[in-house]
Amino acid sequence: MGTFITVDIGGTQIRAAAYPENERQALAIRKTSTRAGSEATFDRMVGLIRSVYPADRSVLSITVAAPGPVDPYSGVIAAAPNIPGWMNFPLRDRLEDEFHVPAHLGNDANLAALGEWRFGAGQGHAHLLYLTVSTGIGGGVITDNQLLLGARGLAAELGHVTVLPDGPQCGCGQRGHLEAVAAGPAIAGYVRDQMAQGANSILQGVSDLSARAVSQAARQGDDLAIKALARAGEFIGMALADFLVVFNPSIVIFGGGVSTSGELLFAPLRESLRMHVMEPAYVHDLVITTAALGDDAGLLGALALAHTMQQRVSV
Ligand SMILES: [Zn+2]
């Protein structure tokens, strides 16, 4: 019986897990912090992988979910936002040199989509769209039971479509992208701006205002907080109307902290979707739901990729 090892590189921590072949219950999960110099991070990742490495079983592969632009074909991380030294870092080759087993690499939102399709809320759906809304907005698309990667592995950056020309600057440097008007920092920023212009809110005087605080205030009936979430929902619904006519999924799955805001976000989102979508056939029987895998989305998404790659090898 073989073992799959998966690694999830997050903003604050790196986690590694070992899964027996054909199971989704981990034998072991360990973690370490993300931030440090380039070699230090790689060395700690190697140590972390060794700490879950099974003594009595063979390892079939090591699969890594990483944030930001990665090339799943060459296994190179183009840039890791939280690891400054990792520019064009050949992670796959470095891991294969170290462990002498096949290694795979994927974008974390893409792999979360694959994980939800294989193990989570999207099981049984051949056409699936995944959006994660937290500090940024990421996406993944499954079409005909295949993860959409694109020519250079850069497909499905669904947070970086323009919804407000000349709008605020996005984390990627462009203006008016969905992420710049509807991710967590944009929701908090909208509330801050409105309060600076004299709007009333129970959030007045709160330092380090977060989307989570806005969501809590909205649940307590704060008008400005409700308006901020509704505004984000409207922009997401507008973009989703575009995604539906391009990909025609049967399910849309929302992950990330902001999507836990419930109907305060989703009611305006669905209304906006209805307003903007080309025709009702796209929303007929469409399932809109939240992610099922929670904190383990990256690890289980990487496991889903490991299974897919293993099947290719054995065919
Ligand atoms: Zn952008």
pLDDT exceeds cutoff 90 at 35: no
For residue 172, the CA-to-ligand 1 centroid distance in Å is 4
Rounded distance between C-alpha atoms, residue 232 and residue 172, angstroms: 19
For residue 180, the CA-to-ligand 1 centroid distance in Å is 7
| 179 Cα distance to chain centroid | 12
| 135 closest CA partner among 171, 93, 83, 176 | 171
For residue 224, the CA-to-ligand 1 centroid distance in Å is 25
For residue 70, the CA-to-ligand 1 centroid distance in Å is 16
Determine the pLDDT at residue 33: 85
Task: Give mean pLDDT, residues 278-298.
Answer: 95
Strand partners, 105: 64
Residues 6+ apart with CB under 8 A from 303: 4, 6, 17, 19, 24, 63, 115, 118, 119
For residue 133, the CA-to-ligand 1 centroid distance in Å is 13
For residue 161, the CA-to-ligand 1 centroid distance in Å is 7
Determine the pLDDT at residue 248: 98
For residue 21, the CA-to-ligand 1 centroid distance in Å is 38
**Distance between first and last Cα of the chain:** 18
Rounded distance between C-alpha atoms, residue 273 and residue 131, angstroms: 15
Q: What is the mean pLDDT of the chain?
A: 94
For residue 61, the CA-to-ligand 1 centroid distance in Å is 33
156 touches 108 (CB < 8 A): no
Determine the pLDDT at residue 40: 82
Rounded distance between C-alpha atoms, residue 120 and residue 72, angstroms: 22
- Structure confidence at residue 36 as a pLDDT band (50, 70, 90): low
Q: What is the four-CA torsion angle of 203, 209, 212, 213, rounded to 10 degrees? A: -20
For residue 276, the CA-to-ligand 1 centroid distance in Å is 21
pLDDT exceeds cutoff 80 at 85: no
Rounded distance between C-alpha atoms, residue 210 and residue 228, angstroms: 12
CA angle, corner 81, sides to 86 and 194, nearest 5?
170
For residue 187, the CA-to-ligand 1 centroid distance in Å is 16
For residue 9, the CA-to-ligand 1 centroid distance in Å is 21
Determine the pLDDT at residue 12: 82
For residue 278, the CA-to-ligand 1 centroid distance in Å is 24
- Structure confidence at residue 247 as a pLDDT band (50, 70, 90): very high
Q: For a pLDDT cut of 70, what percent of the chain falls above it?
A: 97
For residue 162, the CA-to-ligand 1 centroid distance in Å is 8
For residue 84, the CA-to-ligand 1 centroid distance in Å is 20
- Structure confidence at residue 38 as a pLDDT band (50, 70, 90): low
For residue 114, the CA-to-ligand 1 centroid distance in Å is 23
For residue 283, the CA-to-ligand 1 centroid distance in Å is 26
pLDDT exceeds cutoff 60 at 315: no
Task: Give mean pLDDT, residues 85-105.
Answer: 94
Rounded distance between C-alpha atoms, residue 315 and residue 241, angstroms: 38
DSSP H helices in the chain? 38-52, 91-99, 108-119, 178-182, 184-196, 211-219, 223-247, 263-276, 297-314
181 touches 287 (CB < 8 A): no
For residue 269, the CA-to-ligand 1 centroid distance in Å is 20
For residue 47, the CA-to-ligand 1 centroid distance in Å is 34
pTM score above 0.95? no
pLDDT exceeds cutoff 70 at 165: yes
For residue 260, the CA-to-ligand 1 centroid distance in Å is 23
pLDDT exceeds cutoff 80 at 25: yes
For residue 235, the CA-to-ligand 1 centroid distance in Å is 14
59 touches 102 (CB < 8 A): no
For residue 170, the CA-to-ligand 1 centroid distance in Å is 5
Determine the pLDDT at residue 96: 98
Q: For a pLDDT cut of 90, what percent of the chain falls above it?
A: 83
pLDDT exceeds cutoff 70 at 314: no
- Structure confidence at residue 10 as a pLDDT band (50, 70, 90): confident
Determine the pLDDT at residue 187: 97
Residues with CB under 5 A from ligand 1 (ion): 160, 170, 172, 174, 177
- Structure confidence at residue 75 as a pLDDT band (50, 70, 90): very high
Quick: pLDDT tens for 186-243. 999 999 999 999 999 999 999 899 999 999 999 999 999 999 999 999 999 999 999 9
Complete DSSP assignment for 17-79: EEEETT--S-SEEEEEE--S-HHHHHHHHHHHHHHH--SSSEEEEEEEEESS-EETTTTEEEE
| 185 Cα distance to chain centroid | 16
